[in-house]
Chain A
Amino acid sequence: MWRWCSAVRRDIARIAGTAVRSTPRRIPPTPADTTELPRMPLAVRDVLGPQLLATAREALDAAGVTPEEARELGCVTASHRATDATSAYIAEVLAGPGPRWLAPECFLHYSPHSLTGRLCIELGLDGTAVTLTGPAGGVDALGYAAGMITSGRCARVLVATAHWPSPAGPGDATPTPLNTAAVVLGPDGEGGGVTDWRPGGGHPAVRAGRDTPADDGDTSAPFAVLADWYARRSPDGIELRGGGSRVALVPGGTA
């Protein structure tokens, strides 16, 4: 059975700014006219990406990070199948008109790392860049980023996430909630902080009994809890859970 090392770090990475957005959005439908295919909007490039970027900018603003200062930031993102819309698009085009009708650029939006890459390139973030995935990715991203700060490997880190459930069926035009969230972590400040990461994740044997049935792999859920807790300046610490992983939030004012 897994047991934790005795020396769990107590260091705290402080929260400097947060942003959370949730908007019902639909996957752009595939046009009936094949010749329109290469020019159609791509879900990850044209819907998810812009909202994630806006959320990240909002968190950087809230943290008082100027565009010049952003260069020093590391970037950790979390997503659990948020970029699946791209593989579904590729498969649909292959199943229909064939490979020559794929938008050449589509593969740049296939990997979960395309989210990290887009944030780094467009916001000029130049530190360590790590992309975490899976249902535990949200909690793991906060925990790993906190470790980057407390170990001194990075001065400040933008932690961001996107979650966008796939539609129930092919051609389903019902919008599904596109959740994006971002947190800026740094070494000091009066606000609350993140500490005590306990990665668990990914395997049913680990997840069993630890998570509520409501845990549907939404990597943005722990970010939303964190942002609400931070906004309320709660005097009580809480634990964030997701996909079997855990991380603790400790109140500010004790720095």
Chain B
Amino acid sequence: MNTARRGRDTARSVAVTGLGVLSPGGRGTDALWRVCERGGAAFRTVEHFDVSRTGARVAGFVPDTGDADTPAPGQPGRLPYLLHRATSDALADAEARTGRRRVPTALVVGTTDSGGCPSAAAWRAWRDGRAPAADAGWTPYAAPGWDGPVIRVGNASAAGATALGVGADLVRDGLAERVLVCGVDTVTETAFQGLASLRTLSPRGCRPFSARRSGIRVSECAAAVVLERTAPDAHAHLRGWGSSNEARQAARPDVEGLAKAVRRALRDARTAPDELGYVNAHAAGTRHGDVAELHALAEVLGDHLPRVPVVSSKAALGHCQGAAGTVEAIVTVLTLARGQVLPTLGLADRDPRWHHLNLGEQSPGSPPETGMTISCGLGGSNVAVVFGRAA
């Protein structure tokens, strides 16, 4: 382990130079940090489709940003709008931070939304001949005026984290000088009701690590991260990532598969397990998922685990679906950059089996130098991404 620390090869590290986010906390990283610290995200009853026959009726929405002509939830332009805003903000941040403008940039989009039928209304319009197809009604993912390549990643709820890995690989392999990675999703009726029928949605919202956790609450979000080879004034550095799809069944995260992804990410990051100072867990608040993830972390980190803050941002933000991996990566980057660990919200009724762990409520002795974010997706996708304050 110590050899890894002393002689760590930083050549494969990628600089994080720009951040842009529209979350249920609002627009920008300060608004994101504020709701992760104090709560108060924009959760409300879904109005753009019928939830009267569903147990869970609430979702997280991006508050009105004051832009004229903002498409409302349920309108076809909503996803492209969120994507455009978040990527523009991230790119502006990267250009201001590095002083480098007009760098050839590839866009990697992580989303669960492949443009299929979003609602019963869209299906009826198709049936009645009022629409040419039963689809979401939008085509390009890219921002207006975008002329670079676009790669789309669809690893379910791990799409955002996988997009970060693919983006880092593009930079490392010399395929792009700058990569803009954006996780984005909205609240659609077909996904909401599909999750409800799978008994994944909880009427009480995401309560990670709680004794009374019973499922997730979905949120809309767009979270963008700019990656490039090197930069002197980076927010942080993406050191490496790992993925595994080992699973016994599609619906449940698997301890071995998760542990494998975490080990691979640490190896790719040339980082020893005891160097980790922060984990932003997938921890969606499902009965089985939280247990599997903490088992996997215990397996890899061993005695070091109780000393590492393990935090879930989903208590504050809900489950941002395809954007979860990128928005939680932004929280990880902010944690490293600000040197402050925020606790998991709502720990008053934490599951007693995790009393020995630090779920973010105890400040570490020194600011974390290295952090990891974990994402899991239906179908068995397990992904971990490692960030460092230094390359």
Q: Which residues of A contact B (CB under 8 A)?
A: 1-5, 7-9, 75, 79-81, 83-84, 86-88, 90-92, 94-95, 98-100, 102-108, 110-114, 116-118, 120-121, 125-134, 136-137, 140, 144, 147-148, 151, 153, 166, 169-170, 197-206, 244-245
Contact = CB atoms under 8 A, between A and B. Distances in A.
Given A3-B104, A88-B134, A206 B379 contact: no
Max count, chain B CB within 10 A of own CB: residue among A125, A197, A202: A202
B112 A203 contact: no
Interface string B364-383: 00000000000001111100
Interface string B233-253: 000000000111111111100
Given A117-B245, A129-B244, A204-B140, A112 B134 contact: no
Contacts of B196: 99
A108 B378 contact: yes
Interface in B104-124: 104, 106-107, 109, 112, 114-124
B92 interface: no
A116 B176 CA distance: 26
Contacts of B247: 117, 120-121
Given A83-B114, A121-B249, A1 B152 contact: no
Task: Give the top 5 A-B pairs by smallest Cβ distance, nearest first.
Answer: A117-B379, A202-B150, A107-B194, A91-B123, A87-B116
Contact of A108 (B115, B135, B198): B198
B250 A114 contact: yes
Nearest to B146: A203
A12 B377 CA distance: 31
Nearest to A137: B152
B147 A205 contact: yes
A2 B104 contact: yes
A5 B175 contact: yes
A117 B147 contact: no
B156 A111 contact: yes
Contacts of A88: 116-117, 123, 134
B387 interface: no
A197 B199 CA distance: 41
A199 B379 contact: no
18 contacts: A2-B148, A4-B104, A80-B114, A84-B134, A91-B117, A94-B120, A94-B123, A111-B378, A114-B250, A121-B250, A130-B243, A131-B381, A132-B151, A140-B151, A147-B173, A151-B169, A166-B134, A204-B139
A100 B118 CA distance: 18
A87 B190 contact: yes
B154 interface: yes
B122 A166 contact: no
B169 A153 contact: yes
Contacts of A80: 114
A94 B134 CA distance: 14
Nearest to A150: B173
B142 to A, nearest CB: 4
Nearest to B189: A94
Interface in B127-184: 127, 133-135, 139-142, 145-156, 158-159, 162, 165-166, 169-170, 172-177
A24 B385 CA distance: 41
A129 B151 contact: no
Nearest to B249: A121
Contact of B380 (A94, A103, A120): A120
B114 A200 contact: no
B101 interface: no
B193 A90 contact: yes
Contact of A136 (B117, B151, B189, B198): B151
B134 A113 contact: no
Contact of A1 (B147, B165, B177): B147
B243 A118 contact: no
B124 A95 contact: yes
B98 interface: no
Given A95-B123, A102-B194, A199-B175, A132 B154 contact: yes
